[in-house]
């Protein structure tokens, strides 16, 4: 018997928006009320200033700091309340809440959704899919071209280290704010985009500051059912402007239930594990003395993959306490003609949500025939082989231990507790030597390891 997904109720935002809307209407400009110089002067948007959470994490994994009641409930009243407001204004391309959704019977509980609107109305990809790092191109679609009415609020660290909310704050163009905006082609309820430093027009590549910002957003939401995801170029990101995605879905993702095997613990108490008994091979990061310890370990890994032209996806789970990292090769297999025609016919592009177990299906027949076996078959094509994965893992391990600190020096991020192979630096070195013949830093085509 299929289970139905319970959606959170509509929540009315707990502050008045008329003043902010009036400020947005006065800008003039190009007539589209966009986020470029033509429309920005005088523009104002709500601002949520979060408290930096670089406090110790206790043994239970909870951030150990005095948490005062925020002036506005970040997830319920602000994010979801504002998202509902945009629904009422008709800013979405289709009604995602009308999409059929079910949990597929089986051990993992894969989630299937029939989303024909996303297939027909989603913005097409406008760049090469064989390069993970590509320069920003202002002539192509980017988020400075969206209307200010699509932006829910600015999201910035608080200057006095206390949570603050300003319903009508000026846009600081010199410092380029980070913003949360709706995804007009949503996958689920509350589907939004976190766009770090939006006016700097950064390409789709993770850096330390942007990833830490994403973890802060997950921590502020404080709900296990609100996750953030990231897709690199070559791993089904469709817009080359730095952004994370996030939405609310009140069931566990299959990947969150998958068993793991501890690989090592880094200095800073960040534990790294391998995912077990799941169709896509990947790593799980959790723990750390501070949120920044955890963020840096994942960022170093992502930067390593980017620099080696290896496409990847990231899921931020458990309010920012668990992060899943998946190097993948599906687009490369497509280009080489190595994907089964039956799978290609589904037109499913397995990005972070699909890899995590939320299968967004575009055809009715695929939805009605959805099974754990079919989901497993598709996701197995995404995964690196065991040999490939071990080579990439060695690259990541080396980058975490020996990577640059951003100032030209070498980081002091040393291995603390190696538990599972590679258990010594000699083994790491041996794996690295084998991988360097297959993965060439700076190589300009997507990597399929052999």
Instruction: Report, as an integer, the average pLDDT of 96-124.
Output: 85
- What confidence category does residue 22 fall into, taking pLDDT thresholds of 50, 70 and 90? very low
In this structure, is residue 441 part of a structural domain? no
Tell which wins on pLDDT, 130 or 443: 130
Q: Return d(Cα 254, Cα 230) in angstroms, integer.
A: 17
Please tell me whether residue 147 adopts helix, strand or coil conformation.
coil
**Which of 120-124, 229-233, 397-401 is predicted with the least confidence, judged by mean pLDDT?**
120-124
- With a pLDDT cut of 70, the percent of the chain lying above it is 77
Closest to 83 (Cα-Cα) out of 97, 69, 71, 70: 97
- Widest Cα–Cα separation across the chain: 64
**Is 243 assigned a catalytic role?**
yes
User: Which pLDDT belongs to residue 413?
Assistant: 42
Residue 213 structural domain: 18-436
Instruction: Report, as an integer, the average pLDDT of 297-326.
Output: 97
Mean of the per-residue pLDDT values of the chain: 83
Res. 427: pLDDT tops 90 = no
Of residues 243, 289, 358, 436, which has the active-site annotation? Answer: 243
User: Which pLDDT belongs to residue 267?
Assistant: 81
Q: Return d(Cα 37, Cα 321) in angstroms, integer.
A: 38
In this structure, is residue 281 part of a structural domain? yes
User: Which pLDDT belongs to residue 87?
Assistant: 96
User: Which pLDDT belongs to residue 401?
Assistant: 83
Q: Is the pTM of this model over 0.75?
A: yes
Pull the structure tokens for residue 95. 């009604």
- What confidence category does residue 122 fall into, taking pLDDT thresholds of 50, 70 and 90? low
Q: Which helix (H) or strand (E) holds 334?
A: helix 330-335
In this structure, is residue 1 part of a structural domain? no
Instruction: Report, as an integer, the average pLDDT of 129-142.
Output: 90
Residue 165's Cβ-count burial label (10 Å; 0-12, 13-18, 19+) is buried
In this structure, is residue 6 part of a structural domain? no
Instruction: Report, as an integer, the average pLDDT of 117-132.
Output: 66
In this structure, is residue 9 part of a structural domain? no
Res. 55: pLDDT tops 60 = no
CB 207 within 8 A of CB 281: no
Instruction: Report, as an integer, the average pLDDT of 366-383.
Output: 96
Res. 107: pLDDT tops 90 = yes
Pairing state between β 101-103 and 244-248? unpaired
- The listed range with the strongest mean pLDDT (331-345, 360-374, 426-440) is 360-374
**Which of 68-77, 292-301, 433-442 is predicted with the least confidence, judged by mean pLDDT?**
433-442
Pull the structure tokens for residue 289. 């003395």
- What confidence category does residue 32 fall into, taking pLDDT thresholds of 50, 70 and 90? confident
Number of domains, the chain: 1
User: Which pLDDT belongs to residue 170?
Assistant: 95
Q: Return d(Cα 288, Cα 294) in angstroms, integer.
A: 5
The tens digit of pLDDT for each residue in 256-291 reads: 999 999 989 998 799 999 999 999 999 999 999 999
In this structure, is residue 289 part of a structural domain? yes
Pull the structure tokens for residue 144. 């400075």
CB 259 within 8 A of CB 276: yes
Q: Return d(Cα 152, Cα 88) in angstroms, integer.
A: 14
CB 132 within 8 A of CB 25: no
| Beta-carbon contacts of residue 409 (< 8 Å; ≥ 6 apart) | none
Pull the structure tokens for residue 50. 């979060």
In this structure, is residue 341 part of a structural domain? yes
CATH number, residue 32 = 3.30.428.70
In this structure, is residue 32 part of a structural domain? yes
- What is the dihedral sign for C-alpha 260, 287, 389, 370? positive
Res. 409: pLDDT tops 70 = no
| Beta-carbon contacts of residue 193 (< 8 Å; ≥ 6 apart) | 143, 180, 181, 182, 183, 243, 244, 245, 246
Distances (CA, A) of 328 to 96, 218, 378: 28, 24, 13
Distances (CA, A) of 4 to 11, 101, 103, 191, 253: 21, 7, 7, 19, 15
Instruction: Report, as an integer, the average pLDDT of 304-309.
Output: 96
Res. 53: pLDDT tops 60 = yes
């Amino acid at each position: 018997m299929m289970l139905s997904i319970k959606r959170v109720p509509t929540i009315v935002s707990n502050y008045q928006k008329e003043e902010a809307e009036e400020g947005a209407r006065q800008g003039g400009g190009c007539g589209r009320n966009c986020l470029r110089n033509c429309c920005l002067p005088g523009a104002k948007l709500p601002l949520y200033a979060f408290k930096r959470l670089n406090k110790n994490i206790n043994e239970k994994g909870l951030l150990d700091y005095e948490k005062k009641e925020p002036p506005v409930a970040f997830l319920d009243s602000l994010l979801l309340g504002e998202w509902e407001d945009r629904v009422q204004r008709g800013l979405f391309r289709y009604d995602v809440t009308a999409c059929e959704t079910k949990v597929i019977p089986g051990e993992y509980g894969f989630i299937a959704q029939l989303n024909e609107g996303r297939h027909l109305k989603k913005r097409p990809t406008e760049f090469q899919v064989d390069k993970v790092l590509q320069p920003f191109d202002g002539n192509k679609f980017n988020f400075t071209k969206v209307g200010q009415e699509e932006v829910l609020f600015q999201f910035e660290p608080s200057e006095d280290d206390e949570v603050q909310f300003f319903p009508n704050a000026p846009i600081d163009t010199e410092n380029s704010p980070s913003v949360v905006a709706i995804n007009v082609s949503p996958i689920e309820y509350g589907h939004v985009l976190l766009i770090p430093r939006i006016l700097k027009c950064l390409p789709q590549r993770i850096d330390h500051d942007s990833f830490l910002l994403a973890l802060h957003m997950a921590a502020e939401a404080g709900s296990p059912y609100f996750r953030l995801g990231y897709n690199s170029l070559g791993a089904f990101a469709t817009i080359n402007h730095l952004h994370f995605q996030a939405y609310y879905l009140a069931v566990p993702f299959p990947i969150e239930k998958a068993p793991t095997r501890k690989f090592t613990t880094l200095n800073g108490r960040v534990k790294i594990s391998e995912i077990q008994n799941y169709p896509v091979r990947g790593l799980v990061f959790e723990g750390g003395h501070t949120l920044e310890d955890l963020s840096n370990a994942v960022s170093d890994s992502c930067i390593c993959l980017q620099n080696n032209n290896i496409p990847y996806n990231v899921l931020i789970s458990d309010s920012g306490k668990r992060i899943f990292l998946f190097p993948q090769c599906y687009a490369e297999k497509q280009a080489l003609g190595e994907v089964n025609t039956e799978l290609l016919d589904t037109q499913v592009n397995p990005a972070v949500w699909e890899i995590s177990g939320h299968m967004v299906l575009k055809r009715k027949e695929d939805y009605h025939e959805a099974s754990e076996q079919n989901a497993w078959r598709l996701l197995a094509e995404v995964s690196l082989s065991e040999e490939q994965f071990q080579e990439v893992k060695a690259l990541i391990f080396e980058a975490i231990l020996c990577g640059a600190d951003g100032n030209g020096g070498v980081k002091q991020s040393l291995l603390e507790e190696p538990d599972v192979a590679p258990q010594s630096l000699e083994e790491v070195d041996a794996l690295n030597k084998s991988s360097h013949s297959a993965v060439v830093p700076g190589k300009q085509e997507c990597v399929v390891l052999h």
